[in-house]
Structure 1
Amino acid sequence: MRFVPFVVILTALVAAVASPAWAITNGSLDGVDHPEVGALIADKPLGDGTWSYCTGTLISPTVFLTAAHCGERGQKTARVSFSSHYGPGDAVYTGRYVPDERYDDKADPYDMAVVVFDAAVPGIKPATLPAEGMLDRLKADGSLETARFTPVGYGAQAPTKSRHGWKFTYTDTRNQASISFESLSRGWLKLSVNPFKGDGGTCYGDSGGPNFLGGPASDVLVATTISGDDDACKATNYDYRLDTPAARHFLGRFVTLP
């Protein structure tokens, strides 16, 4: 099974003209539902004229959580916008970029990074992190089987196939979807992408973004979007659990954990 990180690969992906209203697959505009979710913003426009390349979540007034594979080797800073639809001139916060030192780009465990700001981001309430072992307890009592999750991100719309390969549309817009549970392992939450269950999904550029437990009103961040098992963003999502000792070891260096 291929394991494809959901980060924009500029030399590999072909961007289409930006016209659809949403990017998360089979989702909808997020609007003001999740102001704590932001985008990593490039220093200059990308090849299609857009700016965002990964997603993340404010988990304290000064700490923004994203994926380690969103950064480059030796990267020291990152720029973040919390605009629901980013445009040049919108507020951007620059902070210190710190990946989990255990992360190896040849493997997927420990795929976490934070952006640490010198001052609090004003007017935004951070997301709530899970208690240790929360998903294990939900699995044990049977409630995880019927749970819904809400992924949020700035990533690509569901791609279309052409003779030149897959085409992706980016709009610098925050979107959300609803998705159902598939399985749970020691470090990963595996979510379904089954349209017959009403599932949406995530795609390139949604990397590092949140998967909230529950519906659109939830702020309980239980896993971050990492990858899927195909190039077309139509198969299963793999999301990094935040309630494990391994994840908490890194997060506890920057925030107070429940």
Structure 2
Amino acid sequence: MSPKFLVPAAVAALLLTVAPSASAINTYNATPAPERTEVGALVVQWDNDGDPATPDRIDWMCSGTMVDRDTFLTAAHCTTDWPEGVRFYVSLGQNVQADLDAANAAHPGDPSAVGAAIAVEGVAHNHPDYPGNSADSKDIAVVQVPAAAVAARWSFTPATLPTANRLGELGPQGLNATPFVVAGYGTEEAKRGPGGHTHPGGGVRMKAPVTFNSLNNTWVRLGQTAPQGNGGACYGDSGGPNFATVDGKLTLVATTITGDGPCYATNVTYRLDAPVARAFLSEFVALP
């Protein structure tokens, strides 16, 4: 399995340590999510050719969630292994790809103006022990953004985080009965065509139902198979939210990290009620 990280061809050579992962939200059983205004896209500006005399590139890369007025939660694999001078932005727009297209047309060759037009610039903080290990990858990061600048552009209510070990308290039986929803900007599931599989689409905030599969100390595995009525995550959904209705309230319980390559079967997500995630987040937000 690989991270659900959208890697444009121009940057792939620079990101050899980051394997591509799962997406857009899948086309099956998925719908637009204009009401999930706390869910946003990570936009990145970077030097894609090693020549400082030529313009940087700017593109959306991953998904994430505002967990307070100035903290955007995402995945550490989205904010590491970039060239020196990388700049990170957060957009809470519903269609970040359309916003990028319009801004690029209005500001050709000026990625900084594009970033300022569509998003708010911030500072990334990765878990200091990322990439960890298979038991706990510590694949968690935040981007701190100016609260006033975000509020001036978008209206949103920050996501509710879980209390300590809430998923563990529910246990498999309780989690089987819990509604889950994944959201993000990722690409579509694999499509067969000349030259092999492609993952079209992406850049629009979508949501889809998913169902509980399994739980361990770090990970929640969620089923995204179509016959069960599920949708699911794909490339570019990394760092994005997996919500569960817990105690009658929509709660951000995990973030998308990886899954099966074609984006058909499983979304592997990082628990936010676990000790490592909570210890990291406590440096930036007030935890329940």
- Aligned runs of 1:102-251 on 2, under 5 Å? 102-104=129-131, 107=134, 109-120=137-148, 121-122=150-151, 123-139=155-171, 142-214=173-245, 219-228=250-259, 230-251=260-281
Q: Deviations over 1:5-46 (max 9, x none)?
A: 10012247xxxxxxxxx93112433342200000011338x9
**Most deviating of 185-194 and 97-106:** 97-106
Alpha-carbon distance in 2 for matches of 1:105, 1:255: 22
Q: Does 1:97 align with 2:143?
A: no
**Structure 2: gaps of 5 or more residues:** 13-22, 49-56, 104-116
What SS does the aligned partner of 1:104 have?
A: coil
8 Å contact kept, 1:69–1:105: no
The answer for the alignment partner of 2:114 in structure 1 is none
**Structure 1: gaps of 5 or more residues:** 13-21
8 Å contact kept, 1:212–1:218: no
The alpha-carbon distance between structure 1 residues 93 and 129, as it changes in their structure 2 partners (threshold 3 A), is same
The alpha-carbon distance between structure 1 residues 33 and 231, as it changes in their structure 2 partners (threshold 3 A), is same
**Percent identical residues:** 37
- Aligned-pair CA distance for 1:52: 1.9
8 Å contact kept, 2:187–2:203: no
TM value normalised by structure 1? 0.85
TM value normalised by structure 2? 0.77
The alpha-carbon distance between structure 1 residues 27 and 33, as it changes in their structure 2 partners (threshold 3 A), is farther
Residues matched between the structures, number: 241
Q: Aligned AA for 1:9? A: V
- Aligned runs of 1:71-90 on 2, under 5 Å? 71-73=79-81, 77-86=87-96, 87-88=99-100, 89=103
- Aligned-pair CA distance for 1:159: 1.7
8 Å contact kept, 2:202–2:236: no
Alpha-carbon distance in 1 for matches of 2:145, 2:176: 38
8 Å contact kept, 2:45–2:88: no
The alpha-carbon distance between structure 1 residues 98 and 50, as it changes in their structure 2 partners (threshold 3 A), is closer
Q: Deviations over 1:33-66 (max 9, x none)?
A: 200000011338x9xx993210000000000000
What SS does the aligned partner of 1:52 have?
A: strand
Alpha-carbon distance in 1 for matches of 2:196, 2:164: 42
- Aligned-pair CA distance for 1:193: 1.9
Alpha-carbon distance in 2 for matches of 1:106, 1:132: 22
Higher radius of gyration, 1 or 2: 2
